[in-house]
Structure 1
Amino acid sequence: PPPPPPPPRRRTTRIQKRNTEAILEAALEVFSTHGFRGATLDQIADHAGLSKPNLLYYFPSKEAMHVAVLTRLLSTWLDPLRAMDPSGDPQAEIMAYVRRKLELSRDFPRESRLFANEILQGAPRLTEVIGGELKALVDEKAEVIRGWSAQGRIAPVHPHHLIFSVWALTQHYADFDMQVRSVLGPVEGQDPYPEAGRFLDHLYQRLLAPKG
């Protein structure tokens, strides 16, 4: 006789979806504030408004929650670089990438700090992604930038270090938010992003302008 059909998959209920989202939001808040090592299940449960046993019903461990948060983050984090169009105008495409990365820092500061904390700890839960998907994407776009430089459409630049500089100059505003706002003072420091955008536009336009 043919094997019996597999049991039907249980549908996720509305309450389960809501609790899962509450847990991931709480985990993002706690991990971005305290790092993986400093975060506790009790803190996450408290932020989520759930009991610790209920928390562990959805995610079996702190590490499982951390991986789930990072997995969601990475898709968002890589999208701006994926959007760089090889057939577009080189300066416009790179400038758009800079602006998108600055907007990510403005709109997702906790995610930026979470990613930075993971890297500072040696990226134990991201090693495969960084050496795989992230590296492949950066290498692909680096070849595009190298081709633009070879064609004289932008100034000669080291493509990987150009991308690193964009990361450093945009994510700084999220990762060091308190320092940025304190140094700028109560007026300009209330919203540093408009002036930061103008400064980065000017900086990269000067850097990328073809020689002669």
Structure 2
Amino acid sequence: MPAPRAPTRIQRKNRATILEAALDVFSRSGFRGSTVDQIAKAAGLSKPNLLYYFPSKEAIFNELMAGLMDSWLDPLRRLDADGDPLEEILAYVQRKLQMSRDFPRESRLYANEIVQGAPRLHGVIAGELKDLVEEKTALLQSWMDDGRINHAHPKHLLFSIWSLTQHYADFDAQVRLLMGDEDPFDAAPDYLETLYRRMLTPQS
């Protein structure tokens, strides 16, 4: 049986264009509120042309989410057991904040899916994400038990980091209206570093 033919440059370009358009549409309207017609229009393609590359809205969404989840988990994967505990956590906070700054649509896409009950992400959350969280919370707990950082519930510590960093992407319109002319990302890195450094630095 002959090997599948590699996609042409035009095919790769069209797939990328469709995924970019879908990211815009899904991040604004969520999965339920989006249609193939909307995605095709945003991509500048006909609906039949789009369906040549992706057979359904679900197929587009699943490909987007597969790439997103890998990027989403990477900052937590990089929490290094051999590093300085406080500096590792602070670096993780900054990586998550940078993701909100650089990838706001991806953050809102993920948030929309979670708000809807994570019907298409349940397996990933219950599997890969849960396994990674268990691994890293055990690491956090070991650092706390050794007195290298202050005690805090390790899972709630992660939840708070996610909440405080992803807020800037998921509530971007509100944040920017309230901040006025000040870019919210100008002061956020120092604010969050100070918050977590004070919280987690052991008292001598």
Highest CA radius of gyration, 1 or 2?
A: 1
What is the deviation of 1:180?
0.5
Q: Deviations over 1:51-77 (max 9, x none)?
A: 100111111110111111111111111
What TM-score does the superposition give when structure 2 sets the normalisation length?
A: 0.98
Deviation string, structure 1 residues 140-193 (Cα, Å, up to 9, x no partner): 0000000000000000111100000000000000000010011112x21xx211
Distance in 2 (CA, whole Å) between partners of 1:181 and 1:50 is 33
Counterpart position of 2:32: 37
SS, match of residue 125 in structure 1: coil
Which 4+ runs in 1 deviate beyond 4 A?
none
Task: Describe how 1:68-79 pairs up with structure 2 within 5 A.
Answer: 68-79=63-74
1:3 corresponds to which residue? none
Question: Percent identity between the aligned chains?
Answer: 61
Structure 2 match to 1:61: 56
Given the alignment of the two structures, is residue 98 of structure 1 paired with residue 93 of structure 2, yes or no?
A: yes
Matched residue type, 1:161: H
Alignment partner of 1:201 is 2:196: no
Offset of residue 8 of structure 1: 2.4
Correspondence 1:52 to 2:41 = no
Q: Which runs of 5+ in 1 are unaligned?
A: 1-5
Equivalent residue for 1:165, pick from 135, 160, 171: 160
Shift of 1:7: 2.0
Distance 2:165 2:55 in 1: 35
Distance 1:130 1:150 in 2: 27
TM-score normalised by L of structure 1: 0.95
Structure 2 residues without counterparts, runs of 5 or longer: none
